[in-house]
Copies of this chain bind each other. A is one copy, B any other.
Amino acid sequence: MKISAFGEIMMRLTPPEYLMLEQTKELRMDFTGTGVNILSNLSHFGCETSLITNLPDNRLGEAAKASVRQLGISDKWIGQEGNHIGSYFAEMGYGPRPTQVTYQNRHSSSFGVSDASAYAFDDFLKETDLVHICGISLSLTDQTRAAAFSLAEKAHEQGKKICFDFNFRPSLNKNNEAAFMREQYERILPYCDIVFGSQRDLTDLLNMSADESLDSTEQFKKLAEEFMANYDIEQFAGTFRTRQEDNYYLSGFLFSTSGYELAEPREIINLDRIGAGDGYAAGVLLGYAENWPADKTVAFATANGVLAHTIQGDVPLTTRKQVEHIMNHPTVDLIR
């Protein structure tokens, strides 16, 4: 199954060794983004992947493309438009000090100024079986919203699978009213086959109401089933992060034709949590592409999500061998 994604390539700049920006002049430069993260991980799992996006026609655009290729993603559909790369600075936290992300230049980025006319969606879709669309495109700019709708429609028409990720960030939506945002999500969901999200997305964003007479699990199941029925969704997936004493645990869920599946929780040891959610998504998509039973999918995807927390940077680079290793030998801490 050829898997592709539509989304922004961002430049991430990170000071070394938990230093804050005032404390250093050294930064590590990476290229990242939800689409990049998921496709890179799938590519490391052996899938053929491709990203459709735009970059500036300059040295930064060239460096970004080189980085995407290194991650194992085809750069064939990356076009040139606009003058900037959206970027962000990540001051890594430690213990109670939270990681602090500062964005630069997202709205006027090459991706932000590109609408549907800036992409060859028709040709692109011919070469893909499943396309991932990041929900951030609904909030970023009018152009990215229009492009996302156009792509979703075309993909749906051509019978391609669409994977959609709520990825709703209130901070990116200060200028949009809740009602407006709900409308956008309601408009795209009918085209979607696989959706990543949480209960809060259903209740707070889509305004669905939970049946408070039920216990929390049943409440969630009912909500999810209703949501999937409303929009004809094939799979709905996401993660819970729970706390026990001082420790945090991750477990992934998956609603599919075989019902509700919840993974055994795995402890999170956190080196860099940015992009860790994309590790879970990549695992679910691999299971989907290879038709795994739901229990195998959530176990693999959860293990992968936990590994993603232990990797510097946003991009999960795990191979199947690594994920299977921690599933089969959870206490081995040295492989040679």
Contact = CB atoms under 8 A, between A and B. Distances in A.
Interface of A: 13, 16-30, 58-60, 62-63, 66-67, 69-72, 83-85, 87-89, 91, 93-105, 108, 169, 171, 243, 246-247, 266-271, 273-274, 306-307, 309-313, 317, 319, 322, 325-326, 330-336
B333 A98 contact: yes
A134 to B, nearest CB: 15
A255 B313 CA distance: 46
Contact of A335 (B18, B98, B312): B98
A98 B269 contact: no
A110 to B, nearest CB: 11
Contact of A21 (B23, B63, B69): B63
Contact of A269 (B71, B96, B312, B322): B96
A307 to B, nearest CB: 6
Contacts of A59: 20-21, 89, 91, 100, 102
Contacts of A325: 98
Contacts of A307: 96-97
Given A18-B312, A103-B336, 19 more contacts: A18-B271, A21-B63, A22-B63, A22-B70, A23-B25, A23-B312, A23-B317, A24-B25, A25-B28, A25-B30, A59-B100, A66-B72, A67-B70, A88-B336, A94-B271, A98-B325, A98-B326, A105-B105, A169-B336
